[in-house]
Chains A and B, each alone.
Chain A
Amino acid sequence: MDFVTHTKKIICVLLQGNASEVIGRLHKEKGVNTCDIDRGRGRSTKNPTNKTYGEYVEVEVVTVSIEAERADEIFEFLYFEAGLDHTNGGFLYQVPVVQSTVFKLPDIPAEEKTP
């Protein structure tokens, strides 16, 4: 079994609803394929401008599993590219992971483009 022990998990709570775009850019610009999106509700001290449900607001949570050596780079990327450097942008945190398996995408040839 292939596994790695130096891994971090970065969790990014987004209020802006652009999680799909963020993980698309992670894949394209950083080559990161180990991320997923959860959806839920969130509550904070700020009143966001997007759709609210009472005191809660719809949030998207991007979770990225990344080797420790690249954690700072991806943390910074998410902070700025997901808009967390602005009011109501969201929240980001990083937690240690004891052990994780190695994830590889299957070797599938690229789709042929039809003319």
Chain B
Amino acid sequence: MSKYPAALGGKSQPPALVRVVRDAGLSAIVAFGLFASMIGLRLFPTGNGMKLHYRWLMLAAVVVAVFAGRVIMLTWRANRPAGTPQPRRIAEAINHAGKYVGAVFLIAAATLPLYGGRYFIDTGILVMTYVMLGWGLTIVVGLAGLLDLGYVAFYAVGAYSYALLSTTYHLGFWTTLPIAGLLAAVWGILLGFPVLRLRGDYLAIVTLAFGEIIRVVLINWTSFTGGPNGITDIPRPTLFGLKFNGSGDPDTFAAFFGIDYSLTQRVVFLYYVIFGLALLTNWVSLRLRRLPLGRAWEALREDEIACRALGINVTVTKLTAFAIGAMFGGFAGAFFATRQAFVSPESFNFGESALVLAIVVLGGLGSQLGVALAAVVMIGGSELFRDFAEYRMLVFGVGLVVMMVLRPRGLVSGRTPSIALGARKEIAAELVAQGRG
């Protein structure tokens, strides 16, 4: 074997094992530098000053784990089969199965209460809420390409609209739902106006600021919103006036149908309510995409200047995107309030906005199926770690980074044109513009 392989420019390459060990060793040294303080030491507050605990064993374990993890990763990478890179193959598989996956998903979701237990249905409600929020935000971020980091503001407006209207004026859920959506849409327009001229990250930070402003106002305007304690005893929704409780009154669901009352009835009902609302969101946004308005949104995402040149009213286009996205956020908020029977400003922090945005981006920005898949993966995934409550968010964050690094363009990265002459051809991810806000 030649000492200077030509392809390497005359520089000899050490054997694979040495390289792997050297690389992993470097990683371990970095890990030691990072964790010697934060894991090796533990601060405890005492009466006067700080008390220190040393956790060298834990530190050593973490450093060894990093070393081993790096070795495994490098070995796996070296032995990976050549050919089509992994993400492309997954993408092709998803695209291929796209139609069936959607149908299977829909059927599985519609029949969930038949085979799932109470816990599954509860998780299903949570996932559906995020699917709905994701589809709502898709209109703003995915279709119109406006980066909105304060979507939670509209969720909050919807939730507090229902909470206040139902506890103060005793309006029912179904009466208040459209009002909550309308109020959220009005807020969408109000907050949309000042940001019309802003683009990209300026837009992002102002929307984030609006989200924070609404939260701070909710916390501090105690006489109106109940402050940090929130609003309690929010009425539950009814089915054509039939309540879900065990009182045995003639206007309860159980008494009307002559069956025994169980808590599952209400949970299943709530599940179908959010399922219906989510389907409504999906249906409306799919229809809107084919209207001139929806096409104007997508054109705006691709190129704002070209839009102006072609005579599209950019102001109206942006404001409708904000308003309609906000309206669905408001619906979801009203549902959230009625499900929890309790709202407080805690539920509407920046983390929620970030989570919904992550679902939209991971879903592939503009793909309806992708959003649903992403919501199942993220919410369902973090449910798996419910027993390790302390580590749950840590794992969630790591998962977010890993998923972005592995699939930066989301689970469903290609895009089918909303409207096409002749057959619809899938547009490859590389050719898809993502908007500049």
- A and B part of one assembly: no
| Chain B residues in the interface with A (C-beta under 8 A) | none
| Chain A residues in the interface with B (C-beta under 8 A) | none
